[in-house]
Each structure stands twice: as C-alpha cells, then as structure tokens.
Homo-oligomer: A and B are copies of this chain.
Amino acid sequence: MKAMTAQNLRSAFGGESQAHMRYRIWGAKADEDGFPMVARLFRATSDAEEIHATLHFKALKNEKGDFQVTSGAGFGLGTTSENLQGAIDGELFEVNEMYPAYIAVAELQEEKSALSAMRFAIEAEKVHAELFTKAKEAVDNGKDLETEKIFLCPVCGFISITGKEDNCPICNTKKETFIEY
C-alpha cells in the first residue's frame, strides 16, 4: 500500500478507536443523567466505530509494525447535552474534512481496499451526526430520544432509529442481520 494512504488509514483507525471508547463513556453518563435511549444510541454508535476501526485495521493487514499515530479526538466529560455536542462536532469533522481528504488521496493512489473502508465510514458518519443532533434537540428540551429500538448494520456502521429500511441504504446488507439495541 502507498505510504500516504497507509498513514491516513492508521490515523482513521486511531480516531475510530478513540470515538468507540468515548461513546461508551458518554453512554454510561447518559444513563446516569436519565436518558436511556440516548445511552443506547451512544452504545450502538460506539459499536459502529468499532466496525470502522476493524475495516481500517484489516485494510492495513500487511502493513506490519509499530507506528506513531496522530488522530483528532474529543475530550471532556460534561452533561449529556455537552457530550452530544462533542459527538456532533467529531462526526462532522470526519464527514466534512477528514474522510474527504483521505478519500481524495486514496483515489489518487488507487488504493481500493482503503477506499471501500473509508466510503462505508463517511456515509455512516453522516447518519451518526444526524442522529446525535436529533438526540441533542430532545435532551435540550428535557426529553429522551424518541424511539423504541435502535438498529445497527454490522457491515458498514449505518444506524436506524425507525427500522423502516428494507436493506442497508449504504451497503445493501439484509435488514435481518441488523443488531438491535
């Protein structure tokens, strides 16, 4: 694999791994704050970031060794409203800056396995940003996120709070395989 794409994939792996961890911690806080559906959304999205991290790690499977990895990451443990704003900011950075830049380089370098991992991720992050925005609106009105179940596509990290899709709109995986929260 070309060096620049490999470096970008390592950065994305580091960012996804830290988002996975942060959402677990913010999910526990949402439960404490009395927002159990927001907590479930954090946990489902945490698992989506694990899917992205795993896709990136596997695309790098032959790039063995120890590296210094630099990634963008959010910190702080505030109210659930503040944590949701942090989540929205992180997702939008990935959607608007990080993945478009990394995808442009991977296209230039014709790195197909990297491209397919990154394209699943960017499409899923758009949905994550929307759902966190909806969750923050609810919490800022003193309410929990209005839904009964949350669904995660185990292939690309797409999330649905309606379950109305037939197949995954990003990767076309059958709805029967979706994980429920």
We find that the number of chain A residues with CB closer than 8 angstroms to chain B is 40
Given contacts A74-B65, A77-B61, A78-B64, contact A20 B17 (CB under 8 A): yes
Q: A13 an interface residue at 8 Å Cβ cutoff?
A: yes
Q: A25 an interface residue at 8 Å Cβ cutoff?
A: yes
Question: Chain A 88-111 against B: per-residue CB contact (8 Å), 1 yes, 0 no?
Answer: 011001000000000000000000
**Inter-subunit contact A73/B25 (CB<8 Å):** no
- List the B residue with the shortest CB-CB distance to A16: B21
Q: How far is the CA of A18 from the CA of B67 in the complex (A)?
A: 12
- List the B residue with the shortest CB-CB distance to A22: B57
**Inter-subunit contact A66/B89 (CB<8 Å):** yes
Q: How far is the CA of A132 from the CA of B70 in the complex (A)?
A: 27
